[in-house]
Amino acid sequence: MHSYPHHIGDWNTATMHLSRLERSVYREALDIYYDTEGPLDGTDFDRLARRVRCVLPEEKDALKFILDEFFEFDIESGLYVHHRCERELAAYRAGQEQRAEVKKGVVERQANFRERRSQMFAVLRERNVAIDFNARMPEIRAAFKEHCPDVDLSRFGHAPVTANQLPKTKNQVIPPNPPAGGAGEQAAAQSNDQPNAGQQPERLENPAAFVAQLLAFFPEKRRTRVLEVSRLIVELVEGGKVRSAQLLAAAAAQSAVLCKDDGKACPNVLRWLKESRWVDASVTVTSNGSGVTGVPSDWRQSRSGIELMGEQLGVKPWDEGKEKLFKFYENRVIKAFDAQLGGAHA
Q: What are phi and psi of 79, to 5 degrees?
A: -110, 145
74 forms beta bridges with 79
Distances in Å between the alpha carbon of 275 and those of 117, 236, 304, 315, 343?
Answer: 35, 12, 12, 25, 28
CA neighbor of 302 nearest in space, from 284, 314, 287, 323 = 284
Q: What is the pLDDT of residue 295?
A: 58
Helix 20-36 × helix 57-70 angle, to 10°: 60
Residue type, 322: K
Please give the model's pTM, rounded to 2 decimal places.
0.35
3-state SS record for the chain: CCCCCCCHHHHHHHCCCCCHHHHHHHHHHHHHHHHHCCCEECCCHHHHHHHCCCCCHHHHHHHHHHHHHHCEEECCCCEEECHHHHHHHHHHHHHHHHHHHHHHHHHHHHHHHHHHHHHHHHHHHHCCCCCCCCCCHHHHHHHHHHHCCCCCHHHHCCCCCCHHHCCCCCCCCCCCCCCCCCHHHHHHHHCCCCCCCCCCCCCCCCHHHHHHHHHCCCCHHHCCCHHHHHHHHHHHHHCCCCCHHHHHHHHHHHHHHHCHHHHCCCCCHHHHHHCCHHHCHHHCCCECCCCCECCCCCHHHCHHHHHHHHHHHCCCCCCCCCCCCHHHHHHHHHHHHHHHCCCCCC
Residue type, 250: A
Q: Are 56 and 64 in contact (CB under 8 A)?
A: no
Q: What is the pLDDT of residue 180?
A: 41
Neighbouring residues of 64: CB distance < 8 A, sequence distance ≥ 6: 45
Q: How many residues are there in the chain?
A: 346
d(CA 284, CA 116): 30
Q: Are 216 and 166 in contact (CB under 8 A)?
A: yes
Q: What is the pLDDT of residue 292?
A: 55
Exposed e or buried b for every residue in 128-140, given b needs 16+ CB within 10 A? eeebeeeeeeeeb
Q: Are 258 and 218 in contact (CB under 8 A)?
A: yes
Regions of the chain with pLDDT less than 70: 152-200, 280-299, 301-302, 318-324, 341-346
Q: What is the pLDDT of residue 224?
A: 84
d(CA 156, CA 241): 37
| Contacts for 323-331: CB closer than 8 Å, 24+ residues apart | 330/300, 330/306
Helix 244-258 × helix 303-313 angle, to 10°: 40
